[in-house]
Structure 1
């Protein structure tokens, strides 16, 4: 059985306070986009013993051993609760990592869904969300997978009415990895002047002056190339442009498809279904 884990962008991101557990409270809007990986599981011979798997990855190279991959962590989480047969796992990576797009979290959440559906495990969506939260703060969003206002550490989700599908979306990621831990260390938490939920009710044409990503200032200072991409997107006519998450990808919303060819050589570029 095969599925297609999608990426997300952050529309606005405020780091509002530091928590006693070392994490940070934030508020952001998670918005799913059409950039997708492919994930397939194929049952193999089952010897009735301990669950075994083989993991095959193609596309964008993935760092680390399979055991550290969130797909395998999702598998092990379910295997600790349910009996599973031996399986082959095939992952085609198209979503770049270190980009603020949630690719790994999406893979984990879709793996939970895939196992549940393939083997009729009987988990409800609410039960899958609880398990996804054990894998990562933004994993629950990909079980939900609709525009959501996120608070807490990104795990508290509230459905919102937001649709930017009438805009062309252009996503650019330079060959830069931004450490999430380092990005948070450069942030001074604080309450935004205007509530994020109030801003996103306004037309995207007004967002440029109102909507902020708190990570941009420190990340742009350390990596001017990322700031340059945002400037380029506005020069190309974007009505709104922003870094997603803690970077390093930057997206722009355009009233019509921009001519981006030849402008971002050496960068990952995606333009497609929103």
Structure 2
């Protein structure tokens, strides 16, 4: 039976458990090291084949024109690749999205949406691309996209595309959305950004985890100081959540997270979050919910 729809496809959030800037390449891209953690919280996408070749986002996303949306751009790349391989343009698709993750939050929302689109359409179109081929297809659109297609928690290096699977703590996270969008470019171009943090290894992270049963205390987010100085709500959220344990910003911000051993601990903290912030809890995932599609 030929599939014509794929509904309820998750696009999970990610956290950067630490994020180090080790240098900058001649082309301006920064060299990073990080551990990506998948969360059981995110957007949901729905795909329905059309009778023409159009790719249509049927959900309005304020501030994101369809032609700029990473979902549509990723779908166009895969559609063109299928045509190149088979000589035939695959059917168009209506794409709906239940948008939960904030933009400019450091949670990888746009990249995760694009990755889910690539994985789902690879299946819907019977395109047959491997995980590695989809990762390579998505990389030009965003350095985080290959991680979501990789589908496992990962130690990442380079621009973020050099990935190795890594074990991470089985815990709960509380995430605060401070209510500001942090533009990534502004953080990476800031004069005060640390760009020479000494490199660590995956073994260093794994050893720390084995000794403490927690990622807390390993490294830092080199972007946090700059983001906190430019956006006071980020600094305020770090300070508030820090009263309950280590609090860190994820990615280039703005969201701030803390790790907790149990759901009950997470709930206790959530119940105290000031009402002017959005906040939620999420369980750590070991792998992407639709990794089995590949």
Flag the 1:182–1:126 CA change in 2: closer, same or farther, 3 A.
same
Residue in 1 that maps onto 2:291: none
Residue in 2 that maps onto 1:91: 97
1-structure distance, mates of 2:175, 2:278: 8
5+ residue gaps, structure 1, are none
Contact preservation (8 Å) 2:55, 2:75: no
Flag the 1:200–1:176 CA change in 2: closer, same or farther, 3 A.
farther
The reply to whether residue 54 of structure 1 matches residue 56 of structure 2 is yes
Output aligned runs, 1:114-263, within 5 Å: 114-162=120-168, 164-165=169-170, 167-186=171-190, 187-192=193-198, 197-203=203-209, 208-235=216-243, 237-238=244-245, 240-255=246-261, 256-257=265-266, 258-263=268-273
After superposition, the C-alpha distances for 1:121-146 in whole angstroms (9 at most, x for unaligned) are 11111111110112211100000121
* SS of residue matched to 2:226: helix
Residue in 1 that maps onto 2:283: 273
Query: What is the CA distance between 1:198 and its match in structure 2?
Result: 1.1
* SS of residue matched to 2:235: helix
Query: What is the CA distance between 1:209 and its match in structure 2?
Result: 4.5
Query: What is the CA distance between 1:56 and its match in structure 2?
Result: 1.7
Moved over 4 A (4+): 193-197, 203-210
Contact preservation (8 Å) 1:6, 1:32: yes
Query: What is the CA distance between 1:17 and its match in structure 2?
Result: 0.4
Over the aligned positions, Cα root-mean-square deviation in angstroms equals: 1.9
Contact preservation (8 Å) 2:17, 2:215: no
Output aligned runs, 1:3-22, within 5 Å: 3-22=9-28
1-structure distance, mates of 2:199, 2:154: 21
Query: What is the CA distance between 1:259 and its match in structure 2?
Result: 3.3
Flag the 1:143–1:41 CA change in 2: closer, same or farther, 3 A.
same
2-structure distance, mates of 1:67, 1:153: 25
* SS of residue matched to 1:80: helix
* SS of residue matched to 1:57: coil
Provide TM-score, normalisation by structure 1.
0.90
* SS of residue matched to 2:15: strand
2-structure distance, mates of 1:259, 1:17: 36
5+ residue gaps, structure 2, are 1-5, 83-88, 285-294
1-structure distance, mates of 2:256, 2:199: 23
1-structure distance, mates of 2:260, 2:175: 11
* SS of residue matched to 1:81: helix
* SS of residue matched to 1:37: strand
Query: What is the CA distance between 1:194 and its match in structure 2?
Result: 5.7
Query: What is the CA distance between 1:217 and its match in structure 2?
Result: 1.1
Residue in 2 that maps onto 1:78: 78
After superposition, the C-alpha distances for 1:233-252 in whole angstroms (9 at most, x for unaligned) are 121x23x3210011000000
Q: Which has the higher helix share?
A: 2
Bigger mean CA offset, 172-181 vs 61-70: 61-70
Query: What is the CA distance between 1:64 and its match in structure 2?
Result: 2.5
Question: How many residues matched?
Answer: 264
